[in-house]
Amino acid sequence: MAKAPPYSLLKSCMAFALLNLLYFAAIAQYYPVPPRPDPAERGKLQAQIHAARHDVAEISALLQLSCIYYHYPRQKRSDLDQAFSLAEQAEALSTRLHNVAGINNARFYKGEIFIIERNMPAAEQLLDQVDDMTRLKLMLNLSNYNDYNENTIAGYKNKAADFAQQSLALATRLGRMAEENEAMLNIANIDMQKGAFDDCEKTLKKIIGDSSSTQYELLRYAYIAYCNLGFYTANYDKALNYSLKALGTITNPADSLQAGDCYMAQALTYYVTENNNRAFEFCQKAIAAYSVYPGEASIVDGINYATVSLTRLKQYIRAERFLTEMNSRYPPQNESDKLIYLNTWGYLYKGEKKYAQAEPYYLQVLKMAVAGHHEEESIYRNVGDLLVQDHKYAQAKPFLVKALNFPGEQTGIRIQSLVHYYLFLCDSAARDYVGAIRELSLAGDLNNQIKDLSKTKQLESLEVQYEAKEREKELKIKDQNILLLQRTNQIQQDNLTRSQLVRKFTVAGLGILFVLLGVSVAYYRQKQKVNRIITQNNLTITQKNGQLQQLLIDKDWLLKEVNHRVKNNLQTIICLLESQAMYLENDALKAIEISRHRIYAMSLIHQKIYQSEDVSSINMASYLPELIRYLKESFGSPDHIQFEANIELLKLDVSQAIPIALIVNEAVTNSIKYAFPEARPGVIKVALLQDEDSVRLNVQDNGIGMPQDITFDKPVSLGLSLIKGLTGDLRGSVQFLTESGTSVFVLFQRVLIT
């Protein structure tokens, strides 16, 4: 007798042991539906139909009422029959009035109802009776629900794929990008179920990239499909990431028609990662949403996973009470609901190890599925799983083999691994050790493909981010409510205070009135006296402000005059140097010329201050080009040298403008004199650029460069020493480069101008 499976392996595998639906992918697909009228409008629409006189308004009312009936959350057969009758009336009236739009809309509604009833052949017959746009919408819906006339999942997928491809071709021909994306989403879901995961992901990326900001519903289901892809490939961080993205598209769950499907995707994400408390929480949200508006899953699906989550938590009594209550409140409406309820009861009893009570439920599910041609891999697997846990290995093996080889259906890696492990137990019990070793090896190979569950930290991180956003929303709402309560309380306090004052004034009577009059007269006189004092003080302040303003004007003029006189004095010094230069030659003459350029650079700054309204700063975009032009002319405007200036519009404090001017003077003068011997053509570039609070000065030429024996750390020439010293005054840094000429880079922090 083979032993029961070890707990560690079961714990890692049982996360997928009960997925009655194909990972939600077979149901959570984008299903474009007509705009849903408000059910409260039903009486009004019925009155319009009775009062109408066979016109377009009656056609519209018939179609809206039909839409209401077949969009009820818990669809009954009578509701669908009523919806179909109304659509037929609309079609007949439209035909009589030759209203082409009404005919197409009515036939589309009929096709919708056929699809809901799974009468696919009838829906397919309508394709040749409608225009291209209506045919496109019907084919999109058929590619979602095309499970008719075929006894195998493979056949279903082939049929669905055909309609998806046809709808894609028609949407492309009609230039309907939104419908193209819908068709591609259907193709992606079909590829996922076939196991073509790479093709599926490639298509989903294209849909998400192409979806416009108005296609929230399509984008939402693309995220859900990505979540399902994470389930299939055991990439749970991807699953949680995209389920949270789907939730993030719902700003107001009460108004969203797809809230239930988003909650269901989130519940399944927690389900497969065994966070059963959160899975139960989101299943309840999905059930509440589905009770308002139907989705691609159903209330019964939410009940199933909620019950399973409680069973996993070993809360068996609570699970049984919950399932009993839900069964009473939401009884099965069709065969699919019955199958899910039966399967859920079976799982609950299996979790309690009441195998004898669980077995009839699972066998009844299998019997109904076979009779209705709705077999799925999970049905056979669930029976095999039950029999293995009950140690009935010989009976379990045929069901497990059937599940493993189920035609056309692609299951998750974990499920395949679990089935192979169960087959290993069955072969071991039958003493087929060769087969047992083979099955165990296959189970191990599949387990190696599963991503490390240490990614739980990533899942928890994403979950924390989502919960933080939810808490932030809740805090904002609470703050708004508190503020509203505070305002309401303040209003009530104000009203109470006013009421008390009125009562006091009434009791006090005329005596208090006379006192108030006396106080008022005294207050009036006191106020007049205070007003006279305030007026006098205001007049005094105004006069002093005027005096201060005049002093500021006089100060500015005085500063301008000082700068003007300094400029004149510097010009006088320049003239004296020029006169002295007539009697000098060689090095002495060169020293005089260099000093003259330096003095002119400072003189030009004082001239700019004198000419400007702002006496504390220099506009470098105006100043530096003029200084460069002066230096060019001082050396006879050499034609072989081109000058390029890139000076940003910025103002510098005078304390920084003067060192910058002297550095530019030294660098440009050096380039003109030494960089281009023998009239060699070249370019001298001067750039002053600002990066936030930093300013960068760059003076460079493409001349012959400096001699290699010059050391910049300890310069011997006055010019280089002056540049280093001026950079120190700026509290900046200087860098000399001699590749392809000479470059001087100065970087310093700009002084704020007050």
Domain ranges of the chain: 21-196, 618-749
CA 35 – CA 662 distance, rounded (Å): 75
Using DSSP, state whether 736 is helix, strand or coil. Answer: strand
pLDDT at 12: 30
How far CA 652 is from CA of 335, 634, 646, 657, in Å, comes to 83, 26, 16, 6
Q: How far apart are the first and last CA of the chain?
A: 92
pLDDT at 146: 47
pLDDT at 319: 92
- Superfamily of chain region 21-196: Tetratricopeptide repeat domain (1.25.40.10)
Query: DSSP H helical segments within 1-152, as ranges?
Result: 7-13, 42-51, 56-69, 77-96, 100-116, 120-125, 132-145
Write down the pTM of the prediction.
0.51
Does CATH place domain 618-749 in 3.30.565.10?
yes
| Strand pairing report for 733-737 and 641-647 | unpaired
Structure tokens of 649? 């519009």
Cβ-Cβ contacts under 8 Å for 731 (sequence gap 6 or more): 748, 749
How far CA 567 is from CA of 564, 572, 580, 628, 643, in Å, comes to 5, 9, 20, 18, 27
pLDDT at 471: 57
Q: What amino acid occupies position 321? A: R
All residue ranges of the chain with pLDDT < 70 are 1-40, 52, 73-75, 145-158, 211-216, 251-258, 373-374, 407-412, 449-482, 485, 550-598, 601-602, 604-606, 608-615, 709, 711-716, 754
- Residues 343-385 pLDDT 10s: 899 999 998 999 999 899 988 888 888 887 667 778 888 888 8
CA 49 – CA 44 distance, rounded (Å): 9
